[in-house]
C-alpha cells in the first residue's frame, strides 16, 4: 500500500520507516527542505537505536522515500498520516493544533480519490472532528475518512514498540476506513497485541489517559521515596513489593528526579486544560504537574545538602543530561532545572552525556562539557547522576574515587549498591533508601 507520513520528526520518521519495513511504499513529507535533503542522504537527525540502519535499508529497497511535495507523494496513496508536532502553548498548557490543521488543509488540496486521513499526532479529544470539518469544507464526504491512531512509542525502544506493540488503537467510524487500517497493520497480526477499534474520541482519550496514568505512577513513587527517607524504609523494596501485584505492575515505579520528555509534561498539562474547559477538573493530574516541577528543584537542594549544605565555589560533575537514556531528547529534562539551580547556588558545573551534549549546549549556559565520564569527574567536589545511561552503571568505581576531588556521589537514579559504595569509601547519597542512602 502507498502511504504518506506528513511530518518527519520523531513519530513520523519512526512510524514511516517501520511501515516501510512491513513492505508498504512510504513517503515521509516535511516542509523542512534541509531535513529532507539530509534524510535522502541517509542522515537521521535524531538518535534512536537501530533507526539509521532501518532507514538506509528501506531506502535501498525502494520502499522509503522523502519529499517536500505532498502533492507528488500523495498521488495514488490510500492513507495519509498526520504526524506533526502539537507542543504546549506557552503559559496556557493546551496543545498547539496549528500544524495539525495546516496539514489537514494541505491534504484536502491533494486528495483525488478515497483516502484515509490518520491523525497520529497527540491531539485533544475532539480534534479529529475538526480535521474532518476542514476536509469536508473542501472535499466531498465520500472521498475521505478521518481516523485516530495514537502512538505509544518509548524513546530508546521505539522500533520494538512499533513492531511488537502491546496494542494498536484505531479510532474509526467508517467501515471502508476500518478495512484500510486493517490492511496497514496486517503484518502485526501474528507477533503483537490486539488491534483495538474504538470511536475516534475514545482513541484520542486513550492516548492522554495512558500517558497521564504513567506520569502519575512516576510521581507517586517519587513521593513514596521522600517518605521512605524520613521513615528509614527502602523505596526499592517498596517498589518491588507493590510492583509484583499484577493490579499495579512494576513499570514506572523507579524513583528519580522527576519525569520529562516530549510526552508526559505536555500531555499532563493538556489534559488538565481540557478537563477545566469541560468543567470536569482532574485534581489528581493538576497536583502531579505541580509535584513534578517541585521535584526537580528538590533534587538540586539534595545535592547541596550532600555537599555540606552549600555548593558555592564547588565543581559539580553531572553525569547524564537527557530526560532518559538511549535518546538525545532534552525536552523538559530534569537536568534543565537541576543544573541552573546548582549554578544559581554558586556551583561550577561540568557535564557529560553520551548523546545529549549537542542539544544541551544550546540549553545549558555556563556549563563545561566533557568528552567522557572520567573527564567529567576529574577534580570534582561531587558527582551527580541524573540520567541512568548503561555506561554509568559499569564505571570503574576505584577509578571514579581516584578521579574525583572528593569521594561524593549523589545518585538520583539509584544505580549503585549502597554497601559497595560505602565499602569503597564514598559518601553516597541516593533516593528514597532510608538512612542507609544518606551517607
Query: Mind telling me the catalytic residues?
Result: 263
**Count of other CB atoms within 10 angstroms of residue 89:** 15
Give the DSSP H or E segment for 197. strand 195-198
The string of DSSP letters for 48-113 reads -TTHHHHHHHHHHTT-EEEES-HHHHHTT-SEEEE----PBPTTT-SB--HHHHHHHHHHHTT--S
- DSSP SS3 for 4: strand
Closest CA to 13 of 47, 87, 77, 1: 47
Nearest-Å Rg of the Cα atoms of the chain is 24
Residue appearing with cell numbers 517518605: 227
Give the DSSP H or E segment for 318. strand 315-319
Closest CA to 259 of 217, 203, 287, 301: 217
Q: How far is CA 373 from CA 370, 376, 390, in A?
A: 7, 5, 12
Q: Is the separation of the CB atoms in 182 and 1 below 8 Å?
A: no
Closest CA to 143 of 229, 77, 232, 204: 77
Q: Is the separation of the CB atoms in 423 and 248 below 8 Å?
A: no
Reduced 3-state DSSP string for 214-225: HHHHHHHHHHHH
CA distance 158 to 262: 14
Residue appearing with cell numbers 545538602: 305
| The Cα angle at residue 206 between residues 292 and 203, in degrees rounded to 5 | 145
Amino acid at each position: 500500500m502507498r502511504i504518506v507520513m506528513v511530518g518527519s520528526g520523531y513519530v513520523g520518521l519512526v512510524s514511516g520507516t517501520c511501515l516501510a519495513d512491513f513492505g508498504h511504499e512510504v513517503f515521509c513529507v516535511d516542509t523542512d527542505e534541509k531535513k529532507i535533503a539530509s534524510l535522502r542522504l541517509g542522515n537521521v537527525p535524531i538518535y534512536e537505536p537501530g533507526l539509521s540502519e532501518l532507514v538506509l535499508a528501506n531506502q535501498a529497497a525502494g520502499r522509503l522515500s522523502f519529499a517536500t511535495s505532498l502533492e507528488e507523494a500523495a498521488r495514488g496513496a490510500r492513507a495519509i498520516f498526520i504526524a506533526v508536532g502539537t507542543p504546549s502553548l506557552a503559559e496556557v498548557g493546551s496543545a498547539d493544533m496549528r500544524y495539525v490543521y495546516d496539514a489537514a488543509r494541505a491534504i484536502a488540496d491533494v486528495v483525488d480519490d478515497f483516502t484515509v486521513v490518520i491523525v497520529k499526532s497527540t491531539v485533544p479529544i475532539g480534534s479529529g472532528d475538526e480535521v474532518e470539518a476542514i476536509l469536508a469544507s473542501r472535499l466531498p464526504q465520500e472521498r475521505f475518512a478521518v481516523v485516530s491512531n495514537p502512538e505509544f512509542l518509548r524513546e530508546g525502544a521505539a522500533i520494538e514498540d512499533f513492531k511488537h506493540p502491546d496494542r494498536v488503537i484505531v479510532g474509526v467510524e467508517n467501515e471502508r476506513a476500518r478495512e484500510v487500517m486493517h490492511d496497514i497493520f496486517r503484518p502485526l497480526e501474528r507477533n503483537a497485541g490486539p488491534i483495538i477499534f474504538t470511536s475516534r474520541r475514545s482513541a484520542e482519550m486513550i492516548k492522554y489517559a495512558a500517558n497521564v496514568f504513567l506520569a502519575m505512577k512516576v510521581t507517586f513513587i517519587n513521593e513514596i521515596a521522600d517518605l521512605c527517607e524520613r521513615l528509614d524504609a527502602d523505596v526499592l523494596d517498596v517498589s518491588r513489593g507493590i510492583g509484583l501485584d499484577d493490579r499495579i505492575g512494576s513499570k514506572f515505579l523507579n524513583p528519580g528526579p522527576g519525569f520529562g520528555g516530549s510526552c508526559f509534561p505536555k500531555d499532563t498539562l493538556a489534559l488538565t486544560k481540557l478537563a477545566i474547559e469541560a468543567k470536569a477538573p482532574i485534581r489528581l493530574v493538576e497536583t502531579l504537574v505541580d509535584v513534578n516541577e517541585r521535584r526537580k528543584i528538590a533534587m538540586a537542594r539534595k545535592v547541596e545538602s550532600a555537599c555540606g549544605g552549600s555548593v558555592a565555589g564547588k565543581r559539580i560533575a553531572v553525569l547524564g543530561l537527557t530526560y532518559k537514556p538511549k535518546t538525545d531528547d532534552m525536552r523538559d529534562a530534569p537536568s534543565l532545572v537541576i543544573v541552573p539551580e546548582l549554578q544559581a547556588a554558586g556551583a561550577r558545573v561540568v557535564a557529560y552525556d553520551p548523546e545529549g551534549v549537542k542539544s544541551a549546549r544550546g540549553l545549558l549556559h555556563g556549563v563545561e562539557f566533557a568528552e567522557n565520564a572520567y573527564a567529567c569527574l576529574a577534580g570534582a567536589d561531587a558527582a551527580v547522576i541524573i540520567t541512568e545511561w548503561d555506561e554509568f552503571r559499569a564505571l570503574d568505581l576505584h577509578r571514579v574515587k581516584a578521579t574525583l576531588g572528593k569521594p561524593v556521589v549523589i545518585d538520583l537514579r539509584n544505580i549503585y549498591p549502597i554497601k559497595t559504595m560505602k565499602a569503597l569509601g564514598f559518601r553516597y547519597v541516593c533516593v528514597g533508601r532510608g538512612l542507609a542512602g544518606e551517607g
